[in-house]
Amino acid sequence: MSLMNLITPLSFNTLKSDIQGVKPFPHFCIDNFLDDEFANEVHDAFPSYEESKTMGKEFSAVNEKYKIQICDTTQFSPAILKLHHLLASPEFVDMVSQMTGIPNLLPDPELMGGGIHETNSGGRLDVHVDFNFIEKTQWHRRVNILIYFNKDWQEDYGGFLDLWDKDVKNCAGAFAPIFNRACGFSTNEISYHGVTPVRCPPGRARKSFAVYYYTKEAPAGWDGVKHSTVFKARPDEWLKGHLLMPAEDSLNSSKQVFRSLKKTVKTMIGK
């Protein structure tokens, strides 16, 4: 059976016109994305937040906290591994190319930054644009797709995917992470997005599966500047934007300088 049978039939022509013409950058939201039986299999296969702590990386920075990321496919249950294979299949990747109008898309077999994402109550992901280049493969990041697996998710639980204009002044859309919803967007220098604070009850977590797509070719108009994730504060986050974010950036810069000096000293001693 083709893996493509695991997704709900979609109208490519309608999606293509809807996605590519939307502002401030191409994006989409599709409900009932996966076959219902398969979506339930994936839902039931997600580990708990506590279990995930032993399987992946937990973030605790100013910009991203109480979030666990599991990229190692050997840790995936059979249902989640099948989802990974579906989203990386040539047929699905070709569909994403048709939807977004970006040719020659490539899936990342290592799921760098992708895979299983779980955010506990109190967690958040501040508004940002993603890293735009993988040095190892020399690939350019072009598309993000996120599929959510949260049943009975209430609005007051938060955890919305919010999309912003290039100046992070106006919210262009906010999407609840409800069960079997897929959200995606083209990644570029103005595709600012984040996750609003998660306030779900104890024992629950915001669960999603993330995949990112790349091209060997640079996007049109690329200025050649490679960067890691770039965070910006929302309009109502004055303290974070003016004090906490700059302080963390300064600390991270100091750490990078220290690591560079340490590496230089080791090299000199080795000689």
Same domain assignment for residues 271 and 185: no
Same domain assignment for residues 21 and 155: yes
- Contact by Cβ (8 Å): 188, 25: yes
The per-residue pLDDT for 223 is: 94
Tally Cβ neighbours within 10 Å of residue 109.
Answer: 10
Tell me how far apart the alpha carbons of residues 263 and 47 are, in angstroms, rounded to a whole number. Answer: 38
Tell me how far apart the alpha carbons of residues 260 and 179 are, in angstroms, rounded to a whole number. Answer: 45
pLDDT in tens, the chain (271 residues): 688 899 988 766 667 777 878 899 999 999 999 999 999 999 999 999 999 999 999 998 888 999 999 999 999 999 999 999 999 999 999 999 988 999 999 999 999 999 999 999 999 999 999 999 999 999 999 999 999 999 999 999 999 999 999 999 999 999 999 999 999 999 999 999 999 999 999 999 999 999 999 999 999 989 999 999 999 999 988 566 555 555 555 545 444 444 555 554 455 555 5
Q: Which residue in 30, 49, 37, 27 sits closest to 100, CA to CA?
A: 27
The three-state secondary structure class of 223 is coil
pTM above 0.85, yes or no: yes
Q: Which residue in 205, 206, 185, 174 sits closest to 142, CA to CA?
A: 185
Tell me how far apart the alpha carbons of residues 77 and 44 are, in angstroms, rounded to a whole number. Answer: 10
Same domain assignment for residues 251 and 118: no
Tell me how far apart the alpha carbons of residues 36 and 8 are, in angstroms, rounded to a whole number. Answer: 9
Same domain assignment for residues 227 and 249: no
Tell me how far apart the alpha carbons of residues 193 and 171 are, in angstroms, rounded to a whole number. Answer: 9
**C-alpha R_g of the chain:** 19
Residue 6 phi, psi (nearest 5): -85, -5
Same domain assignment for residues 249 and 226: no
The per-residue pLDDT for 1 is: 60
Tell me how far apart the alpha carbons of residues 1 and 220 are, in angstroms, rounded to a whole number. Answer: 38
Same domain assignment for residues 222 and 245: no
DSSP letter for each residue of 5-36: GGB----HHHHHHHHHT-SSS-EEEESS-B-H
Structure tokens at 121: 């109550």
The per-residue pLDDT for 245 is: 57
Same domain assignment for residues 192 and 123: yes
Same domain assignment for residues 67 and 148: yes
Q: What is the CATH number of the domain that holds 147?
A: 2.60.120.620
Q: How many domains does the chain have?
A: 2
Q: Which residue in 25, 58, 2, 47 sits closest to 183, CA to CA?
A: 25
Enumerate residues 6+ apart whose C-beta is below 8 A from 166: 24, 189, 190, 192
Same domain assignment for residues 244 and 228: no
- Contact by Cβ (8 Å): 199, 181: no
The per-residue pLDDT for 243 is: 53
Same domain assignment for residues 88 and 50: yes
Structure tokens at 165: 């204009």
Domain that includes residue 85, residue range? 3-233
Same domain assignment for residues 223 and 260: no
Same domain assignment for residues 268 and 148: no
Percent helix, strand and coil across the chain, each rounded to 5?
35, 30, 40
